[in-house]
């Protein structure tokens, strides 16, 4: 049941008895099978004593040690074809509907992930082959004529006991499996025969060093990131400390990589001479869903027919017992907790390096901050957005995706190589936010800007600064073939991301019925954008890329003519050199006079009426939205607290625990002035909307529960005060 699916293989769950399920959880979720990892400056002995007294001492030690066994190695490659369910509309031609929807993936089983030397070697090879569009294998996958994009499965999986390297394509057809495999092995044989340039090896080593140094935190606190980096080794009884302290192993890898034959030997040893590989073809099947439902229904009917009256009554009683247990109030005092008294009232803000402006005559639109960055420099260029028409607004997301992926002073391949060699990545994106001018206004003005963000090792700061300027000012969208490749890749990613962010997309659709700004944000970042990308991909297939490339170039020219703010962040030791690296080209950026725009400068036609979208998913995503107040209104904080109370006190229990959804909640969006309810991966629709409404009645009767209020406030503070990277 749980071998290949940690949540339980759906087709096998009905074969699992109640006693088997309880036995599985009692053994695998026993504290003896737990891993405790901590980060910080608290006394470790005291922490471990508390863990023992408050948890472990209350259980009997389980002697059995659970471990993932090593896979039995294949003597010969295996080629498999499976199908996945696709729904087609009534009257739609199935041949047309299923065309170009097949996935092909090849995967090799490698060595154990707890072996740091082997893991770094595998990462080096994976990035050399797949890191960017100039990498040999990714370049071949992007340019192949029998697929729309490389598979998101491409790369190294190093969290399991044994690592695996994968590459694949999507938007293909069943008959392309052999030619896909041949393409992959042609590239690997070429690399094994001729190797790669030492500059490319150095670029990947640079990326490995960069990611080792970077203090992240925008997704998880830095301590959590370190813990996660050692978690796999701890899970599989390796040395987690060695996985965190990778500098000695990285130095050894750099020395090994000086051998001209090193990469060629890696390709031979890890891939070409490795008989344990599988080619998986996943083809669409419009009848599979109905057939699976029929099989499951028949199976359940047979099981029910074999039940005695006593067994049926037992199942009914267990269901009633479960419902009663779900409705019980848990004692929150059983767990240690943080209270509002533990939260410092003072908010600390970093101070800008004002003295730098005088020392290098930095323009007023340049700002520098010096904080601990562990030898990494950060730059952000923030440009005012002019008023845009509907076509330009709808083009903004595609511009953000493509701006840093096209050529500049040279081809896009040269630009990709520069990024790999000189920085840890450059991104670009637009931000359009309603700006309320008073507590009672309804977003009567707009703050709109475009951001370029990049980061690099301090040792590369001069080349990085030049690359940032070159990327912003000289981006060249004339390569129509490249634009076509990018649109195909972006469209594929957007389609695959629907189920992962279905609740967010549903909230956008619901909010679009409430305000014009919400309608615009849904149009340029929600499901309408995905719909347009599919159409743009179809137009490109029909050789209609010229106008799109020209429109992107025109929009780029329009944006770079606007006032710009430049932000620099670095260690104090690198401050002078980093600032100096940009001083020579500061005249390229007009000093900023950021102004809010009139509301109608960034408004699209209302999308009212589009409140139900069909997506290729077996679950639902529900949302409900109400107009409320903006961030200047005194009710805004109270509504934010109310959202947390609803989520923690009612919605989680009613929609997740009792309704069967993966998640549910509420949020107050004070930027847009909208209060939203949502559910995630939900088997229900009408019942969920009933629960949304019922939660408001529940709130009116429980709003004075101080523990719920405190819990919600702490959650809000936690989201505001989340540890982030040095550059925010």
Instruction: Quote the pLDDT of residue 256.
Output: 96
Stretch 112-131: mean pLDDT, rounded?
96
Which residues partner with 430 through β-bridges?
Answer: 450
Q: By the 8 A CB rule, do 8 and 2 touch? A: yes
Mean of pLDDT over the chain: 89
What are 302-335's pLDDT values in tens digits? 999 999 999 999 999 999 998 898 888 888 777 7
Q: Tell me which DSSP letter residue 626 carries.
A: E
| Burial grade of 483 (CB within 10 A; 0-12, 13-18, 19 or more) | buried
Instruction: Quote the pLDDT of residue 369.
Output: 92
Dihedral in degrees, nearest 10, Cα atoms 297, 302, 304, 305: 140
pLDDT band at 723 (very low <50, low <70, confident <90, very high): low
**Secondary structure string (H, E, C) spanning 494-523:** HHHCCCCCHHHHHHHHHHCCCCHHHHHHHH
Q: Give the lowest-confidence range in 33-37, 61-65, 479-483, 642-646.
A: 61-65
CATH of region 78-285: 3.30.830.10
pLDDT band at 143 (very low <50, low <70, confident <90, very high): very high
pLDDT reading at 442 higher than 60:
no
Instruction: Quote the pLDDT of residue 475.
Output: 97
Instruction: Quote the pLDDT of residue 537.
Output: 84
Q: Give the lowest-confidence range in 52-56, 151-155, 501-505.
A: 52-56
Which residues partner with 687 through β-bridges?
Answer: none
What are 577-595's pLDDT values in tens digits? 888 888 777 666 655 555 5
CA 340 – CA 468 distance, rounded (Å): 43
Q: Do domains 355-602 and 623-720 have the same CATH topology?
A: yes
Tell me which range, 236-240, 433-437, 505-509, 720-724, is most confidently predicted by mean pLDDT: 505-509
How far does Cα 274 stand from its chain's mean position? 31
Instruction: Give percent of the chain above pLDDT 90.
Output: 60
CA 400 – CA 392 distance, rounded (Å): 12
Q: Which of 396, 448, 453, 501 is nearest to 671 (CA)?
A: 448
Instruction: Quote the pLDDT of residue 478.
Output: 93
Stretch 431-449: mean pLDDT, rounded?
73
Q: Give the lowest-confidence range in 17-31, 76-90, 342-356, 605-619.
A: 605-619
pLDDT reading at 722 higher than 70:
no
The 10 Å Cβ neighbour count of residue 94 is: 13
Q: Which residues of 408-432 are buried (b: 16+ CB within 10 A; e: fewer)?
A: beeebbebbbbbbbbbbebebbbeb
Q: Which of 155, 592, 117 is nearest to 365 (CA)?
A: 592
Q: By the 8 A CB rule, do 445 and 599 touch? A: yes
What are 247-275's pLDDT values in tens digits? 899 999 999 999 999 999 999 999 999 99
Q: Which tokens sit at 18?
A: 């109640």
Contacts from 189-192 at CB under 8 Å and sequence distance 24+?
189/272, 190/136, 191/128, 191/129, 191/136, 191/263, 191/264, 191/267, 192/264, 192/267, 192/268, 192/272
Instruction: Quote the pLDDT of residue 725.
Output: 61
Q: Give the lowest-confidence range in 9-18, 54-63, 490-499.
A: 9-18
Consecutive H or E run containing 206: helix 198-213
CA 676 – CA 688 distance, rounded (Å): 13
CA 5 – CA 23 distance, rounded (Å): 18
pLDDT reading at 71 higher than 60:
yes
CA end-to-end distance (rounded Å), the chain: 43
Stretch 207-224: mean pLDDT, rounded?
78
Pick the CATH number of 623-720 from 3.40.190.10, 1.20.59.10, 3.30.830.10, 3.90.1150.10: 3.30.830.10
Supply the angle between the helices 546-560 and 480-496 in degrees, to the nearest 10.
90
Stretch 515-527: mean pLDDT, rounded?
90
Cα-atom radius of gyration of the chain, to the nearest Å?
28
pLDDT band at 469 (very low <50, low <70, confident <90, very high): very high
Q: By the 8 A CB rule, do 154 and 167 touch? A: yes
Which pTM was predicted?
0.85
3-state secondary structure of 439: coil
Instruction: Kindly give, in sequence order, each residue whose CB lies less than 8 Å from that of residue 405, ignoring residues fewer than 6 positions away.
Output: 133, 412, 416, 482, 486
Residue ranges of the domains in the chain? 1-66, 78-285, 355-602, 623-720
CA 451 – CA 427 distance, rounded (Å): 8
Q: Which tokens sit at 205?
A: 């080593």
What are 9-48's pLDDT values in tens digits? 777 887 888 888 888 888 888 999 999 998 888 899 999 9
Consecutive H or E run containing 426: strand 426-435
Instruction: Quote the pLDDT of residue 705.
Output: 81
Q: Look at the chain and count its residues.
A: 728
Instruction: Quote the pLDDT of residue 81.
Output: 97
Instruction: Quote the pLDDT of residue 21.
Output: 86
Q: CATH second-level architecture of 355-602?
A: 2-Layer Sandwich (3.30)
pLDDT reading at 604 higher than 70:
no
Instruction: Quote the pLDDT of residue 334.
Output: 75
């Amino acid at each position: 049941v749980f071998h290949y699916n940690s949540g339980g293989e759906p087709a096998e769950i009905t074969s699992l008895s109640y006693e088997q399920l309880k036995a599985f959880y009692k053994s695998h979720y026993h504290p003896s099978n737990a891993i405790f990892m901590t980060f910080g400056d608290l006394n470790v002995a005291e922490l471990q004593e508390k863990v023992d007294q408050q948890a472990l001492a209350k259980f009997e030690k389980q002697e059995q040690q659970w471990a993932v066994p090593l896979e039995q190695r294949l003597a010969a490659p295996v080629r498999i074809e499976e199908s996945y369910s696709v729904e087609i509309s009534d009257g739609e031609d199935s041949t047309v509907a299923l065309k170009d929807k097949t996935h092909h993936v090849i995967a090799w089983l490698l060595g154990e992930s707890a072996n740091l030397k082997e893991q770094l070697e595998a990462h080096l090879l994976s990035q050399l082959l797949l890191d960017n569009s100039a990498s040999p294998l990714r370049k071949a996958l992007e340019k192949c004529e029998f697929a729309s994009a490389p598979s998101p499965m491409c790369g190294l999986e190093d969290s399991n006991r044994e690592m695996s390297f994968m590459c694949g394509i999507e938007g293909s057809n069943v008959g392309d499996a052999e030619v896909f495999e041949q393409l992959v092995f042609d590239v690997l044989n070429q690399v094994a025969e001729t190797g790669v340039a030492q500059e490319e090896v150095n670029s990947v080593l640079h990326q490995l060093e960069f990611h080792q140094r970077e203090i992240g935190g925008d997704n998880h606190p830095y301590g959590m990131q370190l813990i996660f980096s050692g978690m796999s080794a701890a899970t599989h009884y390796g040395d987690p400390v060695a996985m965190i302290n990778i500098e000695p192993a990285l130095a050894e890898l750099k020395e090994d990589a000086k051998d001209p034959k090193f990469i060629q030997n890696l390709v031979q040893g890890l891939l070409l001479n490795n008989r344990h590989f599988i080619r998986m073809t996943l083809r669409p099947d419009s009848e599979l869903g109905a057939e699976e439902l029929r099989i499951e229904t028949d199976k359940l009917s047979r099981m029910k027919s074999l039940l005695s009256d006593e067994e049926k009554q037992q199942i009914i009683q267990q269901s009633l017992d479960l419902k009663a247990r779900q409705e019980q109030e848990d004692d929150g005092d059983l767990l240690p907790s943080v209270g509002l008294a533990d939260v410092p009232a003072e908010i600390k803000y970093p101070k800008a390096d004002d003295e730098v402006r005088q020392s290098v005559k930095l323009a007023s639109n340049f700002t520098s901050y010096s904080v601990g960055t562990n030898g990494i420099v950060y730059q952000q260029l923030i440009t005012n957005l002019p008023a845009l028409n509907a076509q330009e607004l709808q083009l903004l997301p595609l511009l953000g995706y493509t701006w840093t992926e096209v050529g500049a002073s040279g081809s896009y391949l040269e630009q990709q190589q520069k990024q790999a060699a000189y920085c840890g990545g450059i991104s670009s994106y637009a931000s359009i936010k309603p700006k309320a001018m008073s507590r009672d206004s309804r977003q009567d003005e707009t703050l709109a800007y475009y951001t370029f963000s990049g980061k690099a090792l301090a040792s590369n700061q001069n080349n990085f600064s030049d690359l940032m300027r070159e990327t912003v000012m000289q981006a060249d969208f004339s390569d129509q073939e490249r634009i076509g490749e990018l649109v195909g890749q972006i469209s594929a990613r957007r389609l695959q991301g629907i189920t992962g962010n279905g609740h967010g997309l549903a909230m956008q659709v619901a909010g679009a019925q409430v305000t014009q700004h919400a309608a615009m944000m849904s149009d340029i970042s929600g499901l309408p954008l995905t719909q347009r990308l599919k159409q743009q991909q179809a137009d490109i297939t029909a050789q209609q890329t010229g106008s799109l490339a020209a429109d992107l170039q025109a929009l780029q020219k329009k944006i770079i003519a606007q006032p710009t703010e430049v932000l620099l962040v670095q260690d104090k030791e690198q401050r002078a050199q980093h600032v100096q690296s940009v001083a020579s080209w500061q005249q390229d950026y007009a000093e900023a006079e950021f102004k809010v725009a009139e509301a109608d400068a960034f408004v699209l036609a209302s999308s009212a009426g589009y409140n139900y979208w069909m997506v290729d998913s077996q679950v639902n995503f529900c949302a409900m939205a109400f107009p409320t107040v903006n961030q200047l209104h005194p009710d805004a904080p109270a509504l934010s607290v109310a959202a947390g109370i609803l989520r923690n006190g009612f919605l989680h229990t009613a929609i997740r625990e009792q309704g069967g959804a993966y998640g549910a909640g509420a949020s107050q969006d004070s930027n847009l002035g909208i209060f939203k309810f949502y559910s995630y991966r939900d088997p229900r629709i009408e019942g969920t909307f009933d629960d949304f409404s019922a939660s408001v009645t529940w709130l009116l009767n429980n709003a004075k529960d101080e523990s719920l209020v405190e819990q919600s406030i702490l959650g809000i503070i936690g989201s505001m005060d989340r540890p982030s990277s040095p550059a925010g």
